């Protein structure tokens, strides 16, 4: 059975949080995974990270890592120093992942998040090649540490580099590492793909991580817009055994609301306990549909 989890930002207005509290919270809800961001963890001491890792182990919660590289960490930048910053940030994250027992790294990890071309272009090959070169260097460390590096396919408004499953397949094949996989996300697929099933089948055994959410970033829902039967059936068809992580964002305010661009209360005033119930219901639906 696929492990089911949630991104920690669902409960937060800012990217810093009490990770131990969130671990205990997702355990109570009945989830298997808490997806975390590297930057706030890198800012902690090793002792603090060890405490978080111990709490995850005690609660049988897997920690997966998801990033949105900043403009000064852009692996596709023309500036070599910026690319070096991105490589160092990524490999530093791999080190703390190894210390904390993490094995999956994903997100907008091959270029800067929320940064797109500022003029009309017809050729992005130079940007593509710079990113590929940086990621090939990173993959040497990922392979050494046994970490899966999953390239997220995101919509055109958040990145210019890889917007479709077809582009992602080309990208990871050019990187050429067994540890370089693909992350598909239903929110982004809804914008960019012609077919959910077609995109998932195209990626096939390159699929290393999977994000789910409704088209308005609510948690998955039986009565939502997304074709969950189609999505889960094709995941089973390709024998996807990996994690399914919910990445909903439904509260205004703070760094999270700003970065995700939540400009209304999508939760409709939901309390924290009501938000927890939305996740519990979503997890139950996903587990039922993923039964083989």
pLDDT cut 90: percent of the chain above it: 98
β partners of residue 151: 107, 182
Q: So which residues are the catalytic ones? A: 152, 247
Q: What is the mean pLDDT of residues 154-183?
A: 98
Contact 6, 33 (CB under 8 A): yes
Contact 46, 77 (CB under 8 A): no
Contact 186, 219 (CB under 8 A): no
Q: Over the stretch 105-151, which tens digit does the pLDDT of each residue have?
A: 999 999 999 999 989 999 999 999 999 999 999 999 999 999 999 99
Q: What's the confidence (pLDDT) of residue 42?
A: 97
Q: What is the pTM of this model?
A: 0.97
- What is the average pLDDT value for the chain, to the nearest integer? 97
Contact 41, 52 (CB under 8 A): yes
Q: Which helix (H) or strand (E) holds 115?
A: none
**Token pair recorded at residue 50:** 């060890």
Q: Over the stretch 31-65, which tens digit does the pLDDT of each residue have?
A: 999 999 999 999 999 999 999 999 999 999 999 99
User: 3-state DSSP call for residue 236?
Assistant: helix
**CA-CA distance, 210 to 106, in Å (whole number)?**
10
Which residues make Cβ contacts (< 8 Å) with residue 168, sequence separation at least 6?
151, 153, 162, 182, 203, 206
pLDDT tier for residue 201 given thresholds of 50, 70 and 90: very high
pLDDT tier for residue 172 given thresholds of 50, 70 and 90: very high
**Token pair recorded at residue 28:** 């109570």
Q: What's the confidence (pLDDT) of residue 204?
A: 98
Which residues make Cβ contacts (< 8 Å) with residue 124, sequence separation at least 6?
117, 160, 161
Q: Which residue has the tokens 């990996």?
A: 242
Q: What is the mean pLDDT of residues 199-224?
A: 97
């Amino acid at each position: 059975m696929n492990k089911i989890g949630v991104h920690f930002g669902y409960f937060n207005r800012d990217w810093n949080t009490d990770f131990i509290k969130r671990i205990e919270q997702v355990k109570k809800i009945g989830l298997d995974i808490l997806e975390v961001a590297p930057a706030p963890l890198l800012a902690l001491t090793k002792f603090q990270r060890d405490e978080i890792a111990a709490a995850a182990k005690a609660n049988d919660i897997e920690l997966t890592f998801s990033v949105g590289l900043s403009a000064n960490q852009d692996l596709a930048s023309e500036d070599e120093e910026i690319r070096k910053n991105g490589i160092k940030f990524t490999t530093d994250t791999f080190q703390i992942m190894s210390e904390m027992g993490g094995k999956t790294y994903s997100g907008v990890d091959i270029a800067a998040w929320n940064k797109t071309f500022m003029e009309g272009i017809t050729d992005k090959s130079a940007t593509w090649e710079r990113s590929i070169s940086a990621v090939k260097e990173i993959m040497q460390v990922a392979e050494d540490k046994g970490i899966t590096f999953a390239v997220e396919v995101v919509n055109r408004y958040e990145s210019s580099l890889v917007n479709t499953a077809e582009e992602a397949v080309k990208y990871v094949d050019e990187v050429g590492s067994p540890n370089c996989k693909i992350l598909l996300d239903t929110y982004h697929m809804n914008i960019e793909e012609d077919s959910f099933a077609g995109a998932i089948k195209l990626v096939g055994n390159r699929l290393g991580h999977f994000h789910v959410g409704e088209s308005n970033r609510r948690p998955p829902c039986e009565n939502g817009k997304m074709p969950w039967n189609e999505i889960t059936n094709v995941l089973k068809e390709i024998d996807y055994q990996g994690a399914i992580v919910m990445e909903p964002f439904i509260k205004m305010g703070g760094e999270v609301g700003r970065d995700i661009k939540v400009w209304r209360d999508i939760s409709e005033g939901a309390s924290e306990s009501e938000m927890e119930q939305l996740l519990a219901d979503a997890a139950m639906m996903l587990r039922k549909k993923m039964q083989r």
